[in-house]
Amino acid sequence: MQGLMMDYQLTLLPMLERARRLYPKKEIVTKAGPSLERSNYGELADRVGRLANALARLGVKRGDRVATFAWNNLRHHELYFAAPCMGAVLHPINLRLPGDQIVYIVNHAEDQVLFVDPTLLPAVEKLAPHLKTVKAYVVMGDQLPQTTLTPVYSYEELLRAEQPDYAWPALGENDAAAMCYTSGTTGNPKGVVYSHRAIYLHSMGLAMADSFGLVERDVFMPVVPMFHVLAWGTPFVCTMLGAKVVYPGPHLQPRDLAELIQAERITVTAGVPTLWLGLLALLEKERYDISSLRGMIVGGAAAPRSMIEAYQQKFNVPVIHAWGMTEMTPLGTISRLKSYQTSLPEEQQFAFRAKQGTPNMGVELRGVDETGREVPWDGKTIGEMQVRGPWIAREYYRDERSPLSFTADGWFRTGDVITVDSEGFIQIVDRTKDLVKSGGEWISTQEIENAIMGHPKVAEAAVIAVAHPKWQERPLACVVPKPDYKDSLTKQELYDYLRPRFDKMYLPDDILFIEAVPKTSVGKFDKKVLRAQYKDYALPTG
């Protein structure tokens, strides 16, 4: 038909070009030790061109994988654009994974060049003899330190030797731009490849007002690691919008984050609940000005309702609950109240905000029961969550396990168990592997955990299934008291707190006090460690 617009390819280069032309003065800040390093989008575009030329000189070709082993910083941001825009595939590696999993990931992806932060050199040096495809290493610092890696280059020396102009190729929107691997909780990690189109559409989704709602005037601090599903896609959307970015580097302690929020007047930040629980504990004891915050996005694990309430009531900071997965680029749902829900009593508002929310624009979602039928939107009936959409994977990269997770008609089986209420808000009641099967009844460990963490003396709580001779399984609660209550918090106090909230069968059969809940490589509670530790635990009788 005449008059139709020409086919426009949704690739990452226009994002970078837009930032260069419209927002060259907007800052990109990195916390480097005690000082802050400041750059801007004008300098970013110049350096990305130099970096693309350097990659080409190192032999990187279209389709090659370029790996990063790095913290959140400016150089990492530069790689987010240089590699994909020249036709290569960016591959951030989770630096907190065990060494054998990192070796598997690098070899399975066939990474050609590996960029590494200077502070992480010792870890890469140990693994280098086992990395079969890596042809060059680049140290992301000002100078080249002593290292056993070879051949090895200095990041800044490479850039100084190149020109900023690069002959960017005409890429297709379905070309691969980046890839990430799951954390490998069962078996080897699984690779997920993201196209330019998926990242572009996902970025537009993040910018929508009812999603992350980021705008040019924001000062955004991504605390979620850049190796964790591309920092949830936030470096891309910030570049697209020209928003100022503040990278914390490896400085993720509560005091570091509080100081950055106060000094740089952060407006929006994002990370997993464990980070914000730590910050909350600091803010309750020491005074920092966090009044600039208009949103704290929490994902990666369920945010306790008590935390959402505390930030809102004590500091007037809205905690915005989100959910997603590596296979989803990653955003799936966002918990924002509908217009008419803002007139509900505060108690009901918090009940909705504590859920994972409604599907983001572009995401289709359903709960499916054991017979394959979609569950009703009654807020009670549980089913496995399945999703599909333009930025959701259809298969894993070179992995025969794909049919177990992807249906023939294009839905991704998440492994999360949910309910959907009449407003379309989903609540993740558990992972399929974390549910407790007690006497034929499913018990959600997550609901019990969130309730326990609502107790003012509790810092963390994780609930696991323990074998029971009569009921098959029963819940065991592992609780970390806040430091001031380490010696005074009792089981009886917690049971008294829980009894009005749960029927008897849902109460834990026992409560253990522990030093800390084990964490995964991205800061989630690692319950498989607890299950292994307490697999033979004898629950009290009577």
Residues known to be catalytic: 182, 327, 437, 442
Is the CB of residue 15 less than 8 Å from the CB of residue 44?
no
Place of tokens 């959910």: 323
Q: Pairing state of beta strands 426-431 and 412-420?
A: antiparallel
What is the per-residue DSSP string for 383-440?
EEEEEE-TTS-SS-TT-TTHHHHB-TTS-EEEEEEEEE-TTS-EEEEEETTT-EEETT
Is the CB of residue 458 less than 8 Å from the CB of residue 452?
yes
Residue 104, by phi and psi: left (phi above 0), alpha (psi -120 to 50) or beta? alpha
In angstroms, the CA 86 to CA 61 distance is: 8
Is the CB of residue 271 less than 8 Å from the CB of residue 298?
yes
Range 509-512 contact pairs with CB under 8 angstroms and sequence separation of 24 or more: 509/466, 509/468, 509/474, 509/475, 509/476, 509/539, 509/540, 510/476, 510/477, 510/537, 510/539, 510/540, 511/476, 511/477, 511/479, 512/476, 512/477, 512/478, 512/479
Give me 449's structure tokens. Answer: 């955990």
Which one, of 337, 329, 366, 378, lies nearest residue 354 by Cα?
337
For the chain, give the number of residues.
542
> For residue 432, which phi and psi values (nearest 5 degrees)?
-55, -35
* Cβ atoms < 10 Å from Cβ of 18: 16
In angstroms, the CA 192 to CA 203 distance is: 17
Is residue 264 helix, strand or coil? helix
Give me 250's structure tokens. Answer: 């490896």
Can you name the residues that pair with 193 across neighbouring β-strands? 179
